[in-house]
Amino acid sequence: MKNKLFYFVAVLSIVFNSCAVGHKLDNKVSLVVDVSHYADSYQTTSNKYVDKSLGGEYLNAFLTELKSSLRAYNIETVTKNIKNSLTTAIYLLQVNSITFSEKFETESVYTDGETAIPERFDVVSCNFNANLRLYKADKTGREKLLKFYSSSFSKSEELSNNRTLLQMIFGENKDGSKYTYKELDDDVMFDLSRKSARRIAAKTSKIISKNL
């Protein structure tokens, strides 16, 4: 049983990592990141981490990480409009939308075996989801849609009665009655935006490598 579990976890790890690892191109290509059609949206039932007033900063963090990650795959981001006269083919990555989400689920736990009143925790989770289109333009500026794709990353607060290292050392919480509640970092949405950008860069490099 343990061997089967180890094999299953190993397979999942390989699949996940393959989605995050891109393809470095042999020759440098140029790509325009277009946000002219960009729209953001917010789906929040909680307002602990997502700050609508920081929408522009979230986008800038995403774009900065995206361009930096693309360079690692030999993809140079340029500002030249693809409608202009071109000497070589160029790619256009259109950022259509980004959705910032925050929600919570109320969990009730009994921290004392003698009480009938549970303690309630609002456990918050955050999500960053980006939708994009990748085009290839020839020397005349004529565009061909290569792929529509998205990237989504989530992170949640943690509520657990698992024994901590200190509890194990001092022989505490053997009955699992004590819970630990771990909040997210205040800048979690910036972290999710950068992670999403790195995954998009990897995916973009794979698509371009098949459409040179």
Q: Give the DSSP letter string of 53-112.
A: GGHHHHHHHHHHHHHHHHHTTTEEEE---TTS--SS-EEEEEEEEEEEEEEEEEEEE-S-
In a domain, 177, yes or no: no
Residue 194 resides in a domain: yes
**Domain containing residue 24: CATH number:** 3.30.160
| SS3 assignment, position 116 | coil
Structural domain includes residue 171: no
Q: 24-33 pLDDT, tens per residue?
A: 999 999 999 9
Return the percentage of the chain with pLDDT > 70, whole number.
79
CA dihedral 156→162→166→170, nearest 10 degrees, is 160
How many domains does the chain contain in total? 1
Characterize the bridge pairing of strands 158-160 and 180-182.
Answer: antiparallel
112 in any annotated domain: no
| Residues in the chain where the model's pLDDT stays below 70 | 1-20, 80-87, 111-115, 163-165, 167-170, 173, 175-177
Flag whether 166 is in a domain.
no
- Assess contact for 192 and 153: CB atoms under 8 A: yes
113 assigned to some structural domain:
no
Residue 205 domain flag = yes
| Amino acid, res. 88 | T
Q: Answer whether residue 133 is part of any domain.
A: yes
- Residue 15's domain comprises 2-102+126-154+186-209
* SS3 call for 23: coil
The secondary structure element, H or E, covering residue 134 is: strand 119-137
> Using CA atoms, how far apart are residues 212 and 200, in angstroms rounded to an integer?
18
What digits encode the pLDDT tens for the residues 87-113?
Answer: 677 999 999 999 999 999 998 877 666
* Cβ neighbours around 155 below 10 Å, total: 18
